[in-house]
Amino acid sequence: MGTTHLTTPLVVIDLDVVDANLDAMAAVRPGDALRSHVKAHKCTRLAAHVAERTGSRSFCCATLREVEGMVEAGLGHDLLLANETLDAVRLRRLVASAASVGARVTVAVDSAATVEVAAVASSGGPLAVLVDVNVGLPRCGCAPSDAGAIADLARAAGLHVRGVMGYEGHVVGNPDRSWRSEQVAACMERLREAHGRVGGEVTSAGGTGTFDLHDWVGEVQAGSYVLMDTAYEQLGLPFRQAAFIESTVVSVNEHDGYVVADAGLKSFGMDHGDPMVVGHRTFFLSDEHITIVPSSPLRVGERMRIVPAHIDPTMALHTHAAIVRGDDLVDVWPIDLRHW
């Protein structure tokens, strides 16, 4: 059975391609040298498949909801919330829940305020921290020179400081591999400086676009490699497209030469550009529709698979995914880590 009985727009994930992507990553970052990032797919069933296929049981999360869901799913061997939080009440509740099932939670800190929140939350159970260091991306993270003081505050508050993390997000998407390599080296000099002040057993950085350019950090936080998208496809990485949005043609304008399908702005993350309709040209998207200039005739009712430009926010827009191997539907998995 295929997917034609399921309502569109529909996330379709080819598990054979996922497995090939996992194997390609494991060949370079085996076991816990990879901290697979669940923000890219927001699906605990897929996270469990990653753990089973690769043997890696450490995961990276972007939101408290993601950490909560991973704990509830029994995937709490080693969870990192790689973002700062000021929600002490919810973090404490999460820590207590994790402690009750033996899950391990670590949270990023980059200031006295975030250390204080972590310290308050640790009254619910064991909680470790990584000092988040700004390695060049204008987002969260402390200056390398401040990392030691933040680690001292955390230790004084009774928190276990596991080490440092830094994300070179301004580097990972550049198609020039040699430039990416040079910039990773520069970013990691900043992280290495911070680690010298902080200490600890964990050094964590990177993403899909730089997964094989790190020779110093112990683990890489990659996520998009599992499913891929058109933005990462242009980098020539050893990963193939595993996720698509299946859409149905709802209108054909033969006079003006365009067709319309039922997957629009509300079905795709658009920050990296338009999605790609293989074999045809994307004209534009509106709320509920994609208008396509076809290179061959398309009929009303015909289904097509469209490639998202940015997989992470695309997944967050959908409630479930059809899991296929080739043309065969094998299951439907909830995208259960979405929302906040």
- Concatenate the DSSP letters of all residues of 204-235 into one string: EE--GGGTTS-SS-SEE---GGGT--HHHHTT
Query: Mean pLDDT throughout 259-288?
Result: 97
Residue 222: its pLDDT value, please? 98
Residue with tokens 């009750």, as numbered in its chain: 100
Tell me the whole-structure pTM to 2 decimals: 0.96
Q: Which two tokens stand for residue 167?
A: 């994300």
Domain covering 15-226 in this structure, CATH number? 3.20.20.10
- The predicted-structure confidence for 156-181, as pLDDT tens digits, reads as follows 999 999 999 999 999 999 999 999 99
In which band, very low, low, confident or very high, does the pLDDT at 270 lie, cut at 50, 70 and 90?
A: very high
DSSP calls for 278-321: TTSEEEEE-SS-EEEE-SS---TT-EEEEE-SBHHHHHTT-SEE
Q: Is the pLDDT of residue 199 over 80?
A: yes
Q: Which fold has domain 239-334?
A: Lyase, Ornithine Decarboxylase; Chain A, domain 1 (2.40.37)
Tell me the β-bridge partners of 143: none
Q: Which amino acid is at 160?
A: H
User: How high is the mean pLDDT of the chain?
Assistant: 97
DSSP E strands in the chain: the ranges are: 10-14, 36-37, 58-61, 78-81, 105-109, 128-132, 160-166, 202-205, 219-220, 243-253, 258-261, 276-277, 281-285, 290-293, 303-307, 320-325, 328-334
- pLDDT score of 295: 95
Q: For 13-24, what is each residue's pLDDT tens digit?
A: 999 999 999 999
Statement: residue 1 has pLDDT above 90: no
Average pLDDT, integer, range 20-46: 97
Q: How long is the chain?
A: 340
Residue % of the chain over a pLDDT of 70: 100
Q: What is the pLDDT of residue 237?
A: 98
Supply 11's token pair: 């996330």
Phi then psi for residue 203, to 5 deg, are -125, 120
For 101-120, write each residue's pLDDT tens digit: 999 999 999 999 999 999 99
pLDDT at 263: 98
Give bridge partners of residue 292 from the DSSP assignment.
259, 282
Determine the Cα–Cα distance for residues 260 and 291; give it in Å rounded to an integer.
5
Query: How far is Cα 180 from Cα 188, in angstroms, rounded to an integer?
Result: 12
- pLDDT of residue 232 exceeding 80: yes
pLDDT by residue (tens digit) across 238-266?
Answer: 999 999 999 999 999 999 999 999 999 99
CA atoms within 13 A on the CB side of 222: 36
**Nearest partner of 231 among 283, 271, 264, judged by Cα:** 271
| Residue carrying structure tokens 């909830």 | 334
Residue 82 has pLDDT above 80, yes or no: yes
Give dist(CA 25, CA 2) in Å, integer: 29
**Domain ranges (residues) in the chain:** 15-226, 239-334
Q: What is the pLDDT of residue 179?
A: 98
**121-152 pLDDT tens trace:** 999 999 999 999 999 999 999 999 999 999 99
